[in-house]
């Protein structure tokens, strides 16, 4: 009877370990599959400074813009296209401008701001485990005040802003990260430059005139759990 209990316990523990490994692989695969399509529109918000208050208002404006944009994009007919998204954003720029003004006014902040859609410069970025080289990409850029603080960015279209990329400023040699070829990035930049007449920078501003991406945390508790399970199993035989 005692031997049967031991074997049952071992089988249960082995099954639990397999389940944890399978869930981990599923999670890693989901992250690996998140890449920025060539036809995309980004969002970049530049804080006034790195002071706590300026960084806080940057995040609050970020939340409001992402929530509103996701609602508008959801209203597009399927299949959604980049041109549809571009037209939608351009048409709603005055509302985005009003949204930013509202958030600043609610907090008694009087510095200037600017909301624009166009091809804007980006530093090297890390997104979903892939490093994207510095270059010019189509984006909605929100500049708060002097725009000298750490920035936040994500992909507005297709809607991937549920992933907080932070500033995403990354060294191209980041360990374990895939890198989009510089040649491909240059080709994309050339295409966007050729479309400059079509993708004209549109902006809205008031009349007054990089947050580091969170590195994945190593989960030591899994190792501790496995160690404890093994100790317990070993104890059954003693």
Global confidence as pTM: 0.58
Q: What is the pLDDT of residues 190-238, one digit of tens each?
A: 444 434 444 444 555 554 444 433 333 334 445 555 656 666 666 655 5
Mean pLDDT score of the chain:
69
Interacting residues of 210 by C-beta distance below 8 A, sequence separation 6+: 123, 150, 151, 166, 167, 168, 169
Residue 104: predicted pLDDT: 94
Residue 223: predicted pLDDT: 52
Residue 82: predicted pLDDT: 85
Q: What percent of the chain has pLDDT over 90?
A: 27
What CA–CA distance (Å, rounded) separates 56 from 48? 11
Own/partner contacts of 72-80, CB < 8 Å, gap of 24 or more, are 73/156, 73/157, 73/159, 74/159, 80/157, 80/158
Report residue 217 CA to chain centroid gap.
17
The backbone region for 143, taken as left when phi is positive above 0, alpha when psi lies in -120 to 50, beta otherwise, is: beta
Q: What is the pLDDT of residues 146-168, one digit of tens each?
A: 999 988 888 888 877 654 445 44
Q: What tokens does 102 get?
A: 């509202």
Residue 55: predicted pLDDT: 93
| Banded model confidence at residue 124, pLDDT cuts 50, 70, 90 | confident
The backbone region for 127, taken as left when phi is positive above 0, alpha when psi lies in -120 to 50, beta otherwise, is: beta
Most confident of the following: 10-19, 35-44, 184-193: 35-44
Q: 38: which DSSP letter?
A: S
CB 144 within 8 A of CB 49: no
């Amino acid at each position: 009877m005692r031997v049967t209990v031991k074997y049952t316990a071992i089988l249960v523990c082995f099954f639990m370990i397999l389940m944890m490994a399978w869930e981990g692989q599923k999670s890693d695969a989901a992250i690996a599959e998140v890449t920025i399509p060539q036809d995309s529109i980004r969002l970049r918000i530049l804080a006034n400074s790195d002071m706590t208050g300026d960084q806080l208002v940057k995040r609050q404006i970020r939340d409001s813009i992402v929530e509103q944009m996701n609602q508008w994009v959801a209203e597009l007919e399927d299949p959604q296209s980049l041109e549809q998204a571009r037209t939608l954003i351009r048409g709603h720029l005055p509302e985005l401008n009003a949204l930013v003004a509202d958030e600043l006014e609610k907090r008694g902040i009087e510095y200037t701001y600017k909301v624009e859609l166009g091809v804007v410069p980006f530093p090297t970025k890390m997104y979903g485990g892939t490093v994207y080289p510095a270059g010019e990409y189509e984006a909605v850029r929100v500049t708060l005040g002097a725009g000298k603080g750490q920035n936040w960015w994500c992909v507005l279209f297709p809607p991937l802003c549920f992933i907080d990329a932070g500033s995403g400023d990354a060294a191209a040699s980041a360990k374990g990260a895939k890198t989009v070829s510089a040649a491909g990035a240059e080709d994309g930049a050339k295409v966007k430059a050729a479309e400059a007449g079509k993708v004209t920078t549109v902006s809205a501003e008031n009349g007054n005139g990089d947050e580091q991406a969170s590195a994945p945390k190593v989960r030591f508790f899994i190792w501790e759990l496995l160690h404890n399970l093994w100790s317990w199993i070993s104890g059954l035989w003693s």
